[in-house]
Amino acid sequence: IKELELVSVTKRYGATVAVDAINHRFQPGGYACLLGPSGCGKSSTLRMIAGHEIVSEGSILLGGADISDLPPAKRGTAMMFQNYALFPHLSVADNVAFSLKMRGDDKADRLKKAGEMLELVDLSALSDRLPDQLSGGQQQRVALARALITRPQVLLLDEPLSALDPFLRIRMRGELRKLQRELGISFVHVTHGQDEALALADEIVVMNNAIIEQAGTARDVFNAP
Ligand code: ADP
Ligand code: ADP
């Protein structure tokens, strides 16, 4: 599994420095939480890793190769969004297979892979439904399957649980954690919730005012003097 590394990564929006020359090596195959208050630069960092936002300076390496200039689909990363962003007119299976269609895979192959992914997130029975016929937690699992179908080295999650009710949020934590373990790939999960980071992370990266203030295990970070 490839190591994700940020090398002096900076993001500016006009005069605003959203991310200020941060450096970090994520533990390969680990569950990392990017934790910090609103506006500290977490989403910008995640979007730069995903390739949805260009870096102003610095580079992003995956397995030692610079991916900073590659398009999102070619980086070996995939992103799952907060608001699920499912296509309302496509079935669950077609939503999951969408990126494969864009890539030009043939139909039989797409259906097979989508079926495997739906099994992984325990949604096989609902593959013909439309997104609005699913609960919030089910939609979330579709979004996960859709991101994972490209077999990324790194899954990026931006506040993935914040739209869920508290009960479901706790349950989905367990599911995310289990899925990460099963797949053995690296997860980078953005959250402003300390309890969420504590429950999920092998590694917590604390951001504040555009820099990384601390990074380490939950113990390192929360027991620090
Ligand atoms: P967080 O995810 O921690 O809430 P963001 O990365 O969204 O932080 O934002 C960091 C800073 O960059 C904030 O000051 C925010 O207002 C600013 N910012 C984020 N996106 C944009 C954008 N597209 N244009 C201008 N400023 C932005
Ligand atoms: P977050 O949940 O990370 O805080 P926001 O809700 O702040 O994200 O931002 C959502 C969208 O608005 C993002 O695409 C971001 O780039 C954009 N955005 C955030 N802050 C600003 C800003 N100050 N100016 C312009 N766009 C912004």
Tell me: pLDDT of 102 over 90.
no
Going from the Cα of 36 to the center of ligand 2, the distance in angstroms, rounded, reads: 15
What's the chain look like in SS3?
CCCEEEEEEEEEECCEEEEEEEEEECCCCCEEEEECCCCCCHHHHHHHHHCCCCCCEEEEEECCEECCCCCHHHCCEEEECCCCCCCCCCCHHHHHHHHHHHHCCCHHHHHHHHHHHHHHCCCHHHCCCCHHHCCHHHHHHHHHHHHHCCCCCEEEEECCCCCCCHHHHHHHHHHHHHHHHHHCCEEEEEECCHHHHHHHCCEEEEEECCEEEEEECHHHHHCCC
| Closest residue CA from atom 12 of ligand 1 | 18
- 43 C-beta closer than 6 A to ligand 2: yes
| pLDDT bracket for residue 84 (50, 70, 90) | low
What ipTM, to 2 d.p.? 0.77
| Closest residue CA from atom 24 of ligand 1 | 13
Section 141-145 average pLDDT: 92
- 43 C-beta closer than 6 A to ligand 1: yes
Which ligand is nearest to the Cα of residue 52, counting in written order?
Answer: 2
Going from the Cα of 111 to the center of ligand 2, the distance in angstroms, rounded, reads: 35
| pLDDT bracket for residue 116 (50, 70, 90) | very high
